[in-house]
Amino acid sequence: MTDWLHTFNSLPPEELDALAVLRIVECSNGIIQYMFRDKAPDALSVEDTRRAMGFSMSSIKRMQIVLENETIEFADDTKKIMGDVRDLYLRGMKRGDDEAYAEFLRSSLACLQACGIPRLQTARDRLFADCYSMPPYAWDYGLDYCKNFLREGLPK
């Protein structure tokens, strides 16, 4: 089993800054997708929901976040780590591998712990000011999800 907290804490601050942005993007998108599937009264339109998913998936797959005034690039070491995390997610969520999913959750929590709430808040602010791929208020969805996951920890 990987010591995910050590892995993420070993990254330089600028990589943690970039990962915080990525986590806000992907978690905001996740909430948007659930709201749409659940037909929540305040769910985004189908077009906006698809746009959010496209932006998030593109950022994750390319490990590059294209904002209005800059593009966030990830170092090769970070790309490798996040590739391993993505593999765990795909095996766990898409193929029903419970062990991989549990390991994905551990890696996800460790990433958020290494980023910390102040960095995640800064990432949300950065997206609010420089990214129009989701409505500005949607970035709070991701931040709130991250805060809750940090507070509640792994499912029992």
Contact 104, 88 (CB under 8 A): yes
Q: For residue 11, give the nearest of 79, 101, 70 by alpha carbon.
A: 79
Q: Chain-wide mean pLDDT for the chain?
A: 96
Q: What is the pTM of this model?
A: 0.95
**pLDDT of 154 over the 90 cut:** no
Q: Give the separation between CA 5 and CA 10, rounded to whole angstroms.
A: 8
Q: Computed from CA positions of residues 83, 86, 91, 97, in that sequence, does the dihedral angle turn out positive or negative? A: positive
Helix (H, G, I), strand (E, B) or coil at 123: helix
Q: What is the pLDDT of residue 19?
A: 98
Q: Give the separation between CA 135 and CA 138, rounded to whole angstroms.
A: 5
pLDDT tens track for 30-88: 999 999 999 999 999 999 999 999 999 999 999 999 999 999 999 999 999 999 999 99
